Amino acid sequence: MTGNRGITKDTQVALMWFIGILIGGFIGISIIFRDMNNGFGTVTFGPTNDFNYMSDSGELFSSEKLSGKVWIGHGVNSDCIQENECKSYINMYASIHEALKDNEDITMISFINGDKEMLDKIKSKYTQKSEKWKILLTPKSDHFNIQNYQSRQDENAFIVDQNGIIRGIYNMSFINEAKKLIKDIKKLI
């Protein structure tokens, strides 16, 4: 009996492909975990949706005005102000605005799910007049899109890069998350 005990050429090629894919997968997963720990890189949360909402100044404000810019977004549900439950994290946004107000490359957007009266109430109670902080009134039908960015939590904020990609989501109930947001957004500009 004379059998060929060696590995066939096809088996060698298949084995090489398997090893190559295994090494590539390991490298890819390592990069993803590295970037998750560093806050950026390959980890994103998807693109933002186009929008065109009424601003606190009474004019329409379109997502096109943010094209090529870095911005911070967050939503405020109508129940939040009525029950005064979100005062602390709206004040946190005011602190973030204060820390970044001199940076011309960053804009803050507050998406308010309510009516004009609620928008005026938030504007008068919690924010300062600034061209860098836009307060937009969202129709109830569109607020679902904003909540998707926030994982359905009013206390979450998100940062968006120059290409309209959400690069981070932060819980504003914690001061260390607000500091991380400020640090991370500076990496994008």
Q: Is the pTM of this model over 0.75?
A: no
Report which of 174, 136, 162 is spatially closest to residue 40, judged by C-alpha positions: 162
The least confident of 49-58, 88-97, 139-148 is 139-148
SS (H, E, C) 124-186: HHHCCCCCCEEEEEECCCCHHHHHHHCCCCCCEEEEECCCCEEEEEEECCCHHHHHHHHHHHH
Q: What percent of the chain has pLDDT over 90?
A: 15
SS3 10: helix
- What integer is the mean pLDDT of 42-60? 82
User: Tens digits of per-residue pLDDT, 140-174?
Assistant: 666 545 545 544 456 788 999 888 888 888 888 88
- What integer is the mean pLDDT of 90-107? 85
Rounded distance between C-alpha atoms, residue 123 and residue 179, angstroms: 24
Taking the alpha carbons of 123, 111, 79, 90 in that order, is the dihedral positive or negative?
A: negative
The least confident of 91-95, 112-116, 158-162 is 112-116
The predicted structure's pLDDT at residue 47: 85
